[in-house]
């Protein structure tokens, strides 16, 4: 005898940095009795608000946000931890008969939830990580990637040779468990009906928005935010502090301490803009294979009406549809 179970809805909003995901998700949440689950690997850090483009206090008042301000800048939040927290937040939102919106540009975070990745539950080994990061610094990311290829060629093929963080994690799992990380990974689709919305712009428009946003961040006090983090003891060697919008200040502040005047604030701003442009090119690769699944909307024109229409149609079908379990 078959039993019909209606799957709860999960709406997802993806797209590159500066494309307008947060603003759209806040409006959609307000119109749909929704709450936002952040899928941003940098917004999990406390005290890093401006440089990560975290939702403003006004936006957080308009829509409840989950999974921001989760850890300190010197702590880590692994993919498996994020996935568990995201599933818990989605379950909590659903249990209160509200609509969860998974929103972010960190493709790994988004796809781990949407596709139900089976992620190795291997706790971080800070000593081993330190050794691997030192190797990358001394010999280059390519040498670290070559080491991974020896241990796990499948994982090496999947990971960009320039992505030191992911290479280190893959090596960490391999070395600590004695098994290739690729053999410990798989997928178990989560129990949701999923709608994926994507925002995109022409490269020229996106670059213009990036430049404008960096200027707005500086005006909002990004330099002071970085200085406060450094004063609190968070060094630029930390993964959180080496990211875009923060790491570019390292040579500037080092020159200042040395009473030098080689690196200017203007050059820091230029480097943040360049680094952000490189980052969005990398982001696009995550969702390229999902094009058929994602409803792409033009962020150059206000996408709200089109997005809301899709969300309402999706929620109506979610209420009526189900899946069959034998």
CATH of the domain at 21: 3.40.50.300
Q: Measured between alpha carbons, how far is 86 from 325 in angstroms, rounded to an integer?
A: 25
Cα separation values, 4 from 7, 200, 211, 283, 311, Å? 9, 37, 51, 38, 23
Query: What pTM, to 2 d.p., does this model score?
Result: 0.84
Task: Tell whether 316 and 214 lie within a shared domain.
Answer: yes
Res. 302 pLDDT band, cuts 50 70 90: very high
Average pLDDT over residues 64-89: 95
Residue 321 has pLDDT above 80, yes or no: no
Say what the pLDDT of residue 179 is.
87
Query: Among candidates 108, 33, 35, 31, which has minimal Cα distance to 65?
Result: 35
Say what the pLDDT of residue 6 is.
76
Q: Measured between alpha carbons, how far is 161 from 144 in angstroms, rounded to an integer?
A: 8
Most confident region among 60-74, 121-135, 161-175, 184-198 by mean pLDDT: 60-74
Res. 324 pLDDT band, cuts 50 70 90: very low
Domain stop point among 184, 203, 221: 184
Task: Tell whether 170 and 206 lie within a shared domain.
Answer: no
Task: Using the Cα atoms of residue 101, residue 107, residue 111 and residue 112 in order, give the sign of their dihedral.
Answer: negative
Query: Among candidates 93, 87, 36, 98, which has minimal Cα distance to 61?
Result: 36
What's the DSSP call for residue 298?
Answer: E
Task: Tell whether 199 and 304 lie within a shared domain.
Answer: yes
Task: Tell whether 195 and 305 lie within a shared domain.
Answer: yes
Q: The tokens of 80 are what?
A: 């498996």
Say what the pLDDT of residue 258 is.
60
Domain hosting residue 178, numbered range: 126-184
Residue 326 has pLDDT above 60, yes or no: no
Task: Tell whether 313 and 211 lie within a shared domain.
Answer: yes
Mean pLDDT (the chain, rounded): 91
Most confident region among 101-105, 156-160, 258-262 by mean pLDDT: 101-105
Say what the pLDDT of residue 189 is.
87
Which position has the higher pLDDT, 281 or 29? 29
Task: Tell whether 146 and 199 lie within a shared domain.
Answer: no
Task: Tell whether 179 and 286 lie within a shared domain.
Answer: no
- pLDDT tens-place string over residues 5-18: 478 999 999 999 99
Domain stop point among 184, 201, 225: 184
Domain stop point among 184, 201, 222: 184
Average pLDDT over residues 69-93: 95
Q: How many Cβ atoms are within 10 Å of 5's Cβ, its own excluded?
A: 11
Task: Tell whether 155 and 198 lie within a shared domain.
Answer: no
Task: Tell whether 201 and 257 lie within a shared domain.
Answer: yes
Residue 273 has pLDDT above 80, yes or no: yes
**Alpha helices by DSSP H, 9-139:** 21-32, 57-62, 79-95, 107-114, 126-139
- pLDDT tens-place string over residues 203-220: 999 999 999 999 999 999
Residue 4 has pLDDT above 50, yes or no: no
Say what the pLDDT of residue 135 is.
92
* 101 within some domain: yes
Task: Tell whether 157 and 196 lie within a shared domain.
Answer: no
* 2 within some domain: no
Say what the pLDDT of residue 219 is.
98
Q: Measured between alpha carbons, how far is 127 from 111 in angstroms, rounded to an integer?
A: 29
Task: Tell whether 231 and 85 lie within a shared domain.
Answer: yes
Count of domains for the chain: 2
Task: Tell whether 41 and 178 lie within a shared domain.
Answer: no
CATH of the domain at 169: 1.10.20.140
Say what the pLDDT of residue 263 is.
87
Query: Among candidates 141, 178, 180, which has minimal Cα distance to 161?
Result: 141
Say what the pLDDT of residue 318 is.
67
Say what the pLDDT of residue 40 is.
96
- pLDDT tens-place string over residues 84-128: 999 999 999 999 999 999 999 899 999 999 999 988 888 888 899
* 154 within some domain: yes
Residues 120 and 184 sit within 8 Å (Cβ to Cβ): yes
Task: Using the Cα atoms of residue 228, residue 230, residue 233 and residue 238 in order, give the sign of their dihedral.
Answer: positive
Q: The tokens of 319 are what?
A: 């209420």
């Amino acid at each position: 005898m078959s039993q019909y179970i209606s799957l709860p809805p999960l709406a997802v909003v993806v797209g590159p940095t500066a494309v307008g995901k947060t603003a759209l998700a806040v409006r959609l949440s307000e119109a749909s009795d929704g709450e936002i689950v952040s899928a941003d690997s940098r917004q999990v850090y406390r005290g890093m608000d401006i440089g990560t483009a975290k939702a403003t206090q006004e936006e957080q008042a308009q829509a409840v946000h989950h999974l921001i301000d989760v850890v300190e800048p010197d702590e880590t939040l692994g993919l498996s931890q994020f996935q568990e927290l995201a599933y818990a937040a989605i379950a909590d939102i659903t249990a209160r008969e509200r609509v969860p919106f998974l929103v972010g540009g960190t493709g790994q975070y988004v796809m781990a939830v949407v596709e139900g990745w089976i992620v190795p539950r291997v706790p971080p080994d800070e000593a081993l990580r330190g050794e691997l990061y030192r190797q990358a610094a001394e010999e280059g990311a390519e040498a670290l990637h070559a080491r991974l290829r020896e241990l796990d060629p499948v994982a090496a093929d999947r990971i960009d040779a320039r992505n030191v963080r992911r290479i280190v994690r893959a090596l960490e799992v391999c070395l600590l468990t004695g098994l290739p990380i690729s053999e410990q990974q798989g997928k178990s689709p989560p129990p949701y009906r999923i709608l994926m919305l994507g925002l995109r712009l022409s490269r020229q428009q996106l670059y213009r928005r990036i430049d404008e946003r960096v200027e707005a961040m500086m005006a909002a006090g990004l330099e002071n935010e970085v200085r406060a983090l450094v004063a609190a003891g968070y060094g630029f060697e930390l993964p959180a502090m080496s990211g875009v919008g923060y790491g570019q200040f390292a040579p500037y502040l080092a020159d200042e301490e040395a009473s030098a005047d080689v690196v200017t604030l203007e050059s820091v701003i230029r480097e943040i803009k360049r680094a952000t442009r490189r980052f969005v090119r990398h982001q696009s690769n995550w969702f390229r294979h999902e094009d058929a699944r994602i409803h792409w909307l033009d962020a150059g024109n206000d996408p709200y009406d089109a997005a809301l229409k899709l969300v309402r149609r999706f929620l109506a079908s979610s209420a009526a549809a189900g899946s069959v379990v034998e």
